[in-house]
Amino acid sequence: MALLRVTSPHAHGPASTQKVMQQVLLATVPGVIALIHFFGFGVLVNIAWAALLALAFESLALKLRGRELGFYLKDCSALVTAVLLGVALPPYSPWWLIAVGMASAILLAKHLYGGLGYNPFNPAMVGYVVLLISFPVQMTTWEAPRGVGEVPGLLDALRACFTPASFDGTTAATPLDVLKQNNSLLLENLWAAEPVFGRWAGIGWEWANIAFLAGGLWLLYRRIFTWHAPLAFLAVLALMAALFYDGGSSASGGSPLFHLLSGATMFGAFFIVTDPVTSAVSVRGRLVYGALAGLLVYLIRVWGNYPDAVAFAVLIMNFAAPFIDHYTQPRTYGHRKPAKRREES
Amino acid sequence: MRKIFDFHGGIHPPENKQQSLGEPIRDAGIPAQLVVPLSQHIGAPSSPIVAVGDRVLKGQVIAEAAGFVSVPQHAPSSGTVAAIEERPIPHPSGFHALCIVIDCDGRDEWLPHRGLENYEGESPSDLLEHIREAGIAGMGGAGFPSAVKLKEKPGASIDTLIINGTECEPYITADDALMREHAAEIVAGAEILRHIVGPKNTLIGVEDNKPEGIAALQAAAEGTGIEIVVFPTKYPSGGEKQLIEILTGRQVPSGGLPADVGVVCQNVGTAVAVYDAIVHGRPLISRITTITGEAVSRPGNYRVLLGSPMQHLLDLAGFDPARNQRLVMGGPMMGFTLTDSAVPVVKTTNCLLAPSAEELPAPPPAQACIRCGLCAEACPASLLPQQLFWFARGKEYDKLEEHNLFDCIECGACSWACPSHIPLVQYYRASKADILQQRRDHEKSEQSRIRFEARQERLAREEAEKEAKRLARKKAAELRAQQQAAESGDDSGAEVDPIQAAIERAKAKKAAQQQAAGGESEQDKLEKAVASTRKRLDTASAKLEQARAEGSDLIDALQSGVDKTRAKLEAAEKALAEHLASQDNPPPASEPAVAKPRSAAEIAIAKAKAARAAEADLSPQEKARKQLDSLRQRLDKSEQRLAQSREAGEDEKIVEALAATVQRLKEKISALESEAEKVESP
Ligand code: SF4
Ligand code: SF4
């Protein structure tokens, strides 16, 4: 009888990285459906094309690095990156834009640093920011949502992506843009004057945000991540908005609800800020990480040069994560102080 | 209701306890042969006091405790000692160690024994002595000698005695079965322990997944003032530190003992063993062991004689080797695999797990750490396992220590939770071993430096002393000569001299005796060395032969081992021959001193006598130096022992205990040295 010699523990929990990634993918479905409903099939084409590219780039990188394809592709992390970037890009983006974004995400941000787990920056956000800086026009042109303009069909979406002729759908400034450009109207009047606004925030955007919130809550319920980072993120964003709301004057930064349901807020809170690889590790660290990211989003939205700010805020916080980790080590059992402070005192 | 505290982290693995709870405790009977390891506890292995061929009775002491942190071993059944030899023992590294093998005669004949009629009239220290003599070592897992653990620590006042009935590991139900069927004995044992420790509170802590056991304990504890505290099931609440936190809200300081927060912990099995020892005078010779897993058809709890081969239990439980792929002693979270089913059940064998391959599948290949933090959420020590993993892989030992690697209790919760299947605990174990090794190497070089310097200093001092004495003698002689010259003809002066001379003679004689005794033991030592080396050579050669016969690929290694041993033997023989040659014409003074003592005892007695006699003549300084020397010798020995146990990878607690001894000796020595300096240089 050949007895196996292995060290404890001999039992293993049900969790697996693959399952974690699959659940994250699943949780994006409500948000994606909402986006498709309001902005048309461009969203789906984005995601599908991005996913294809992700698998291709991932395979290429693994091949170049001499890794076993099947084992690493199985972790689904490349697909998650593809979906996240696909959602973040404006619908009806040309194929090459998405390709550049995915290449930056998978090759540059992920594999150049050593692959999954070693990347200090969120790959999808790196892809997004590279594009935003290189192709600002394409990256800030959003299709008008259903109810404001016409929504193109699937064929139009495919054509928009893959034919060289530029796409001529109806575009509209995003609500965050509109608010940013406003300097004369009271918010109330702005709301009445601009068709992009809905009940609480932008038409379409508000529901997409709510759908992403639902997906995020499901992930929380499944214990895929803890509440610390997303809650801190949303709370600080709302707090900042409340502090600088000033009753809706022309200089107002927008109401807390507006900020919570605009742009990439919920998507960012539950799918980007929670990215475990690039965030802080301890519970306290994640609170700090989320809170600072929320603060940055507000600062950039209201006083910065870009209308939405989740990608920048997250990348800056990726930078800060190791420092946060350093200063937020938990107190180990039987110690009076956390390791860091013990050392310094 | 007592307030219950929560501890950080923890996991909820499937309990899998029902399988082994279907039937009451069964008796495993008497196997044909019992193999009693001399080391079933943390601390020094016991030393055998029986010889091959001796008939032993059940309960008879067959090996004595060797030192303070040690316990004796008893014959678990009557029979004949068949061998005292190295056998595989249950150990994570698959060690072999000295065991006493008893061929059972099946009569199970007890040595007459009697308990104490009224233990309450006995002093705690007497009771502790009984506990120690009964061979009781912690039965929950670690196997630390209970008497040592219960012994009062100076400066620590114990207010809480905790009896651990948690049994949080999946599959294991030995304590549960004990609580269901022997609650009264547990409570009685707890009362004895309470009498010894004298705490304010005596608590029995049980997880809430054992309702029958809880009910039985509550009924038994009625009116005793012992509280049964029930708390939610969560792994690893049975860890001593975690249990203390759950019940008292206190955390044992890092590197400290439960006594530092006023707590003493004992397992329920240990409580029953204490009860048996005190009330019935029965030593620890059996225990309850769970045998479970899908590879056995009759899982359950068995009362097993210590020393029973695991195979005996497997046979009883209907073991199907075809379904099995590993054997685990202990539970699935912290147990270790056995490589041989012939190893015996020992005092700490709470479970023998024989899972099928589907039940506990081989670990899948590890994926990348995605820093998800599930491990940190699970860690009961509030560590950051993912960071530790990162540093462990990079061999960043400073960082590991900074992140409190040594507070990891190796509970396995992090590995269990990790979605990437990273064998985290394995990394921590390896890193701990590496760091300890590093420290040891550093210590060694440091110590040899210190020793060298101390020796140099001592030699210089001795030289100076000799010189001073010579001068003093010279002066005295001169003085005497002057006196004599002055008082020539005076009788009293002449009278002093013969006495003085007699004293001198006596001294010389004693010194010679001493030398002779020393010489004798030197020869003895050399002879012993030759004998033991020869024995080693024999076994090595035998092994080599066997390897040759089997065509094993170890032949080369064994061959070089044999060669080395042979060289050693030759060296030892040469040393002995040289020594004998030098003894052939010994200094004449030693001749009349001692007739050649024959037995080792006589030598020892002679030596002791000589030493005492010599000591009587010594000045305080010399005495101090003598003491210092003996301390230094002891230090050397303890250091050697420490190094050995470290090399052998013995349990951390032993190593720690030994290290503490070394430290104490060092302190003593330095205290003595500084005192001696004070005396010498006023
Ligand atoms: S649980 Fe595993 S994958 Fe997650 S952070 Fe810990 S080590 Fe990394
Ligand atoms: S094995 Fe160590 S690091 Fe892992 S959970 Fe247990 S105590 Fe924490």
pLDDT tens-place string over residues B372-391:
888 999 999 999 999 899 99
B168: region left, alpha or beta (phi > 0 left; psi from -120 to 50 alpha): alpha
Note whether A259 and A178 are same-domain residues. Answer: yes
Specify the DSSP element, H or E, that contains B77. Answer: none
Judging by beta carbons within 10 Å of its beta carbon (0-12, 13-18, 19+), is residue A14 exposed, middle or buried? exposed
Contacts for B563-567 with beta carbons within 8 Å, 24 or more apart? Answer: B565/B533, B565/B536, B565/B537, B565/B540, B566/B537
* B352: CB partners within 8 A, 6+ apart: B289, B290, B291, B292, B310, B313, B314, B327, B328, B329, B345
Place of tokens 């902005």: A39
Assess whether pLDDT exceeds 90 at residue B479.
no
Place of tokens 């929560």: B6
Note whether A93 and A234 are same-domain residues. Answer: no
Nearest CA in chain A to B324: A3
8 A C-beta contact, residue B235 and residue B413 = yes
**Cα B239 from Cα B409, distance rounded (Å):** 8
- For residues A66-71, give the mean pLDDT: 82
| Of the candidate ranges B84-88, B112-116, B153-157, B255-259, the one whose mean pLDDT is the lowest | B153-157
Which chain A residues have a beta carbon less than 8 Å from that of B382?
Answer: 330-333
C-alpha of residue B367 to centroid of ligand 1, in Å: 10
CA dihedral B120, B124, B130, B131 (to 10 degrees): 110
* A253: CB partners within 8 A, 6+ apart: A179, A240, A241, A244, A245, A259, A298, A301, A302
8 A C-beta contact, residue B236 and residue B196 = no
| Of the candidate ranges B131-145, B228-242, B645-659, the one whose mean pLDDT is the lowest | B645-659
Q: What angle do CA B188, B191, B196 make, to 5 degrees?
A: 135
- For residues B537-558, give the mean pLDDT: 70
- For residues A255-263, give the mean pLDDT: 85
Nearest to B148 by CA among B119, B128, B124: B128
Task: Count the domains in chain A.
Answer: 2
Note whether A164 and A23 are same-domain residues. Answer: yes
- For residues A272-280, give the mean pLDDT: 90
pLDDT given at position B233: 94
The residue among B327 and A72 whose pLDDT is bigger is B327
Note whether A58 and A85 are same-domain residues. Answer: yes
* B591: CB partners within 8 A, 6+ apart: none
How many angstroms separate the Cα of B160 from the Cα of each of B1, B254, B538? 16, 19, 55
pLDDT given at position B257: 87
pLDDT given at position B516: 53
Q: Is A5 among the domain residues?
A: no
* A249: CB partners within 8 A, 6+ apart: A186, A187
pLDDT given at position B171: 94
**Cα B42 from Cα A37, distance rounded (Å):** 69
What does the radius of gyration of chain A's CA atoms come to, in whole angstroms? 21
Of the segments A33-42, A336-345, B70-79, B135-144, which one has the largest average pLDDT value?
B70-79
Show which of residues 308-337 on chain B sit within 8 Å of chain A, judged by CB atoms: 321, 324-328, 330, 332-337
Q: What is the pLDDT of residues B653-675, one digit of tens each?
A: 677 777 888 888 887 777 777 76
Question: Cβ(B422) to ligand 2 under 6 A?
Answer: no
**Cα B569 from Cα B577, distance rounded (Å):** 12
Q: Choose among A7, A13, A17: nearest Cβ to B11.
A: A13
Count CA within 13 A, CB hemisphere, residue B532: 6
| Of the candidate ranges A27-36, B322-331, B412-421, the one whose mean pLDDT is the lowest | B322-331
B508 pLDDT tier (thresholds 50, 70, 90): low
Q: Do B335 and A17 touch (CB under 8 A)?
A: no
B530 pLDDT tier (thresholds 50, 70, 90): confident
Note whether A24 and A168 are same-domain residues. Answer: yes
pLDDT given at position B22: 85
CB atoms within 10 A of CB B463: 10
B270 pLDDT tier (thresholds 50, 70, 90): very high
Judging by beta carbons within 10 Å of its beta carbon (0-12, 13-18, 19+), is residue B636 exposed, middle or buried? middle
Assess whether pLDDT exceeds 80 at residue B287.
yes
Note whether A122 and A70 are same-domain residues. Answer: yes
**B379 annotated to bind ligand:** yes
The residue among B597 and A298 whose pLDDT is bigger is A298
Averaged confidence pLDDT in chain B: 83
Omega before A90 cis (within 30°)? no
Q: DSSP H helical segments within chain A, as ranges?
A: 17-27, 29-39, 42-64, 69-73, 77-88, 95-102, 123-134, 136-139, 154-162, 175-181, 187-193, 205-221, 228-243, 256-260, 265-267, 283-303, 310-327, 339-344
Assess whether pLDDT exceeds 50 at residue B634.
yes
Q: What is the pLDDT of residues A282-310, one digit of tens each?
A: 888 999 999 999 999 999 888 887 766 88
Q: List b or e across B94-108, with b for residues whose CB sees 16 or more CB atoms inside 10 angstroms.
A: ebebbbbbbebeeee
Q: What is the pLDDT of residues A7-53, one digit of tens each?
A: 888 888 888 888 889 999 999 999 999 999 888 888 899 999 999 99
Question: Cβ(B379) to ligand 2 under 6 A?
Answer: yes
| Of the candidate ranges A157-161, A259-263, B15-19, the one whose mean pLDDT is the lowest | A157-161
Averaged confidence pLDDT in chain A: 84
* B46: CB partners within 8 A, 6+ apart: B38, B39, B63, B64, B65, B66, B70, B71, B72, B73
B554 pLDDT tier (thresholds 50, 70, 90): low
Note whether A232 and A301 are same-domain residues. Answer: yes
Q: Is A331 among the domain residues?
A: no
SS3 of residue B336 by DSSP:
strand
Assess whether pLDDT exceeds 60 at residue B596.
no
Q: What is the pLDDT of residues B446-478, one digit of tens each?
A: 888 888 888 888 888 888 888 888 888 888 888
Q: Do A10 and B326 touch (CB under 8 A)?
A: yes
Question: Cβ(B32) to ligand 1 under 6 A?
Answer: no
Assess whether pLDDT exceeds 50 at residue B487.
yes
pLDDT given at position A345: 46
Structure tokens at A277: 């690889």
Assess whether pLDDT exceeds 80 at residue A198.
no
**Cα B57 from Cα B50, distance rounded (Å):** 12
Q: What DSSP assignment string belongs to B216-258?
A: HHHHHHTTTTPEEEEE---BTTTSHHHHHHHHHS--PPTT--G
Q: Is A224 among the domain residues?
A: yes
* B95: CB partners within 8 A, 6+ apart: B88, B89, B648
B631 pLDDT tier (thresholds 50, 70, 90): confident
* B628: CB partners within 8 A, 6+ apart: B669, B672, B673, B676
Beta bridge partners of B88: B96
Note whether A181 and A139 are same-domain residues. Answer: no
Domain map (residue ranges) of chain B: 120-281, 374-512, 521-617, 618-682
Interface confidence (ipTM) of the complex: 0.83
* Chain A contact for B461 (CB, 8 A cutoff): no
pLDDT given at position B598: 54
**In the CATH hierarchy, which top-level class contains the domain B120-281?**
alpha beta
pLDDT given at position B627: 75
- For residues B620-647, give the mean pLDDT: 75
Of the segments A308-312, B122-126, B231-235, B454-458, which one has the largest average pLDDT value?
B231-235
Judging by beta carbons within 10 Å of its beta carbon (0-12, 13-18, 19+), is residue B111 exposed, middle or buried? middle
CA dihedral A42, A115, A225, B207 (to 10 degrees): 150
pLDDT given at position A28: 94
Query: What is the percent of chain B where pLDDT is above 90?
Result: 42
Note whether A194 and A319 are same-domain residues. Answer: yes
8 A C-beta contact, residue B92 and residue B343 = no
Q: Is A159 among the domain residues?
A: yes
B322 pLDDT tier (thresholds 50, 70, 90): confident
Q: Is A10 among the domain residues?
A: no
**B168 annotated to bind ligand:** no
Of the segments A63-77, B261-275, B491-505, which one has the largest average pLDDT value?
B261-275
pLDDT given at position B592: 42
Q: What is the pLDDT of residues B165-192, one digit of tens each?
A: 999 999 999 999 999 999 999 999 999 9
Note whether A228 and A317 are same-domain residues. Answer: yes
Note whether A187 and A137 are same-domain residues. Answer: no
Q: List b or e across A228-252, with b for residues whose CB sees 16 or more CB atoms inside 10 angstroms.
A: bbbbbbbbbbbebbeeebeebeeeb
Q: Most B CBs within 10 Å: which of A224, A332, A335, as the mutation test of the B interface? A: A332
B549 pLDDT tier (thresholds 50, 70, 90): low
| Of the candidate ranges A225-229, B118-122, B487-491, the one whose mean pLDDT is the lowest | B487-491
Nearest to B84 by CA among B72, B95, B97: B97
Instruction: List the domain range (segments joined by +) for residue A104.
Output: 17-172
Q: Choose among B333, B370, B410: nearest Cβ to A11.
A: B333
pLDDT given at position B586: 46
B452: region left, alpha or beta (phi > 0 left; psi from -120 to 50 alpha): alpha
B105 pLDDT tier (thresholds 50, 70, 90): very high
Which chain B residues have a beta carbon less than 8 Å from that of A3?
Answer: 324-327, 337-341
Q: DSSP H helical segments within B343-423, as ranges?
A: 374-378, 385-393, 397-402, 413-417
Q: Is A185 among the domain residues?
A: yes
Q: What is the pLDDT of residues B247-268, one digit of tens each?
A: 999 999 998 889 889 999 999 9
| Of the candidate ranges A33-42, B113-122, B591-600, the one whose mean pLDDT is the lowest | B591-600
**Cα B570 from Cα B567, distance rounded (Å):** 5
What single-letter DSSP state applies at residue B11?
Answer: B
pLDDT given at position B587: 45
Q: Is A49 among the domain residues?
A: yes
A268 pLDDT tier (thresholds 50, 70, 90): very high
Q: What amino acid is encoded at B576 in this protein?
A: L
**Cα A221 from Cα A218, distance rounded (Å):** 5
Q: Choose among B324, B337, B376: nearest Cβ to A281.
A: B376
Note whether A30 and A168 are same-domain residues. Answer: yes
Question: Cβ(B373) to ligand 1 under 6 A?
Answer: yes
Find how far residue B261's CA is from the centre of its chain.
24
Assess whether pLDDT exceeds 60 at residue B311.
yes
Q: What angle do CA A317, A323, A327 make, to 5 degrees?
A: 125
**Cα A7 from Cα B362, distance rounded (Å):** 11
Angle at which helices B183-197 and B174-181 cross, to 10°: 100
> How would you write B590-640 as a 3-class SS string?
HCCCCCCCCCHHHHHHHHHHHHHHHHHCCCHHHHHHHHHHHHHHHHHHHHH
Q: Is A277 among the domain residues?
A: yes
B593 pLDDT tier (thresholds 50, 70, 90): very low
Q: What is the pLDDT of residues B205-232, one digit of tens each?
A: 999 999 999 999 999 999 999 999 999 9
pLDDT given at position A236: 95
Structure tokens at B137: 């070592």
B494 pLDDT tier (thresholds 50, 70, 90): very low
* Chain A contact for B649 (CB, 8 A cutoff): no
